[in-house]
Amino acid sequence: MKLHEYQAKQVFADAGLPVPDSKLAASVDEVVEAAENVGYPVAIKAQVQVGGRGKAGGIELVDDEEEAREAADRILGMDLKGLHVDRVLVEAAVDFVNELYVGVTMDRNEGKPVAMVSTKGGVDIESVAEETPEAISRVHVDPSFGMHPFQARKAVYDAGVERDVAMDVASVLTTLYQLWDDKDSTDIEVNPVMITSDREVVCADAVMNIDDDALFRHADLQEMEEEGDSSQDDLEAKADEYGFDYVRLSGNTGIIGNGAGLVMTTLDLVDYYGGEPANFLDIGGGAKASRVANALDMVFSDENVDSVVFNIFGGITRGDEVAKGINEALESFEEIPKPVVVRLAGTNAEEGMEILNTDLVTVEKTLEDAVQRAVEYADTEADK
């Protein structure tokens, strides 16, 4: 579960972290009223769960009512990286002189949580980690004992944070770790932590993701999940409805498989053969017509998709049954909008390949051939 910025900042404020004064708004008039209450200048920030909102036009700084109305009119209702913006956070602008990154996540290689600090805040931290990893200080924490004060100080000083604000930044890191632990978070970060000219430390952004399997322990967070549903990606909402494991990506080759490992392998091969995956979609066990139709409906609904590859392994569900399900699902469409490539393996795979309606799909014997054909189709469709 991903919290929206305004929700994460509510959690942060309740924990005593310094966040700017802000109000949520859903209309132009509400934005103006909120800005007057907060006090100009303010930042108007789209509340959708994507990175790079500022570069995409989803964050604007305004100095008066006229600018606030114009910015609110532009941002509310806009499509931001595939997500509809129906709410904005109107937040007091911060006059900063420096930006930091502070976060906590799980280091799966070490099997421990890791606290991170960097003086390269305000930019994509993944890019920093890839290009200049030495710019991020890391301290691993034993979850049995929690974060000791000296560990927070070490992370801050190793990052090169200026001494006059180091203790305040260490306090932010300590609180973030405590929230990460108490709330069953998977990731929590502030990017940026802003340092003002008065040497105050302000959490200007907020990211907090929660382990779905632990939500039953957090009634307050469950309420936030329901509250935040209005701006959920339509495809992700469909995935929840259908019971699929789904992640939307930025490519144009749609991927459907039964089993997370199978889908991940297909993603890797699409990339290997020069394509770009459009999604991760695991339909799970069984491949009845209704389930296959729902999966196709989801993938076809993604305007970025130019082709689809099915990678199905027949285990308990036989290959011939899978093939019948695919045929029935495709026949339910008046027109198949994008080319579909199918690869079957496992129990009764050969029988299934013979059953598949080749007027509706392209059948390939190997996964490599299926992926290459799907990538070719995607390239051809994209050039039209």
Q: For residue range 151-206, what is the model confidence (pLDDT) as tens digits?
A: 999 999 999 999 999 999 999 999 999 999 999 999 999 999 999 999 999 999 99
User: Is 257 assigned to a binding site?
Assistant: no
Is residue 230 predicted with pLDDT exceeding 70?
Answer: no
CATH superfamily of 21-92: ATP-grasp fold, A domain (3.30.1490.20)
pTM: 0.69
User: Is 209 assigned to a binding site?
Assistant: no
Which band of pLDDT confidence, cut at 50, 70 and 90, is reported for residue 231? very low
Cβ contact 280:253 at 8 Å? no
User: Is 357 assigned to a binding site?
Assistant: no
CA angle at 313 for the pair 311 and 319, rounded to the nearest 5°: 105
Is residue 251 predicted with pLDDT exceeding 70?
Answer: yes
**Residue 196 β-bridge partners:** 96
Is residue 260 predicted with pLDDT exceeding 70?
Answer: yes
CATH code: domain 96-228 is 3.30.470.20
Determine how β-strand 59-62 pairs with β-strand 42-46. antiparallel
101 a catalytic residue: yes
Q: Residue 241 and residue 238: Cα distance in Å, rounded?
A: 5
Is residue 26 predicted with pLDDT exceeding 60?
Answer: yes
Among residues 5, 60, 189, 364, the one annotated as catalytic is 189
> Got the DSSP string for 346-369?
ETTHHHHHHHS-TTT-EE-SSHHH
Non-local (6+) Cβ contacts of 346 within 8 A are: 312, 313, 314, 315, 319
Is residue 17 predicted with pLDDT exceeding 80?
Answer: yes
Whether 21-92 shares its CATH topology with 96-228 is answered no
Q: Residue 294 and residue 296: Cα distance in Å, rounded?
A: 5
Q: Residue 374 and residue 305: Cα distance in Å, rounded?
A: 11
Please classify residue 197 by burial: count the beta carbons closer than 10 Å to its beta carbon, then call 0-12 exposed, 13-18 middle and 19+ buried: exposed
Which band of pLDDT confidence, cut at 50, 70 and 90, is reported for residue 241? confident
User: Is 94 assigned to a binding site?
Assistant: yes
- Identify the CA nearest to 22 among candidates 13, 135, 311: 13
User: Is 52 assigned to a binding site?
Assistant: yes
Cβ contact 200:191 at 8 Å? no
Q: Residue 268 and residue 263: Cα distance in Å, rounded?
A: 9
Non-local (6+) Cβ contacts of 104 within 8 A are: 113, 114, 115, 116, 173, 176, 177, 180, 185, 187, 188, 189
User: Is 268 assigned to a binding site?
Assistant: no
Per-residue pLDDT tens over the stretch 352-373: 889 999 999 999 999 999 999 9
CATH class of 234-379: alpha beta
189 a catalytic residue: yes
Cβ contact 64:247 at 8 Å? no
Return mean pLDDT, the chain. 91
User: Is 99 assigned to a binding site?
Assistant: yes
Which residue is associated with the tokens 């490599």?
368
Per-residue pLDDT tens over the stretch 103-136: 999 998 999 999 999 999 888 888 898 899 999 9
- Distance from the first to the final alpha carbon of the chain: 38
* 289 or 14, greater pLDDT: 14
Among residues 101, 177, 242, 246, the one annotated as catalytic is 101
Domain ranges of the chain: 21-92, 96-228, 234-379
- Least confident piece of the model among 63-67, 68-72, 145-149, 282-286: 282-286
pLDDT at residue 305, as a whole number: 94
- H helix intervals, 207-288: 219-227, 234-242, 260-272
Per-residue pLDDT tens over the stretch 39-83: 999 999 999 988 788 888 999 999 999 999 999 999 999 998 778
pLDDT at residue 201, as a whole number: 98
Q: Residue 47 and residue 80: Cα distance in Å, rounded?
A: 10
Cβ contact 292:342 at 8 Å? no
CB atoms within 10 A of CB 352: 27
Q: Tokens at residue 300, please?
A: 């076809």
Please classify residue 150 by burial: count the beta carbons closer than 10 Å to its beta carbon, then call 0-12 exposed, 13-18 middle and 19+ buried: exposed
* Preceding omega of 192 cis (within 30 degrees of 0): yes
pLDDT at residue 194, as a whole number: 97
User: Is 53 assigned to a binding site?
Assistant: yes
Going by the DSSP 8-state scheme, the letter that residue 317 receives in this structure is S
Is residue 316 predicted with pLDDT exceeding 90?
Answer: no
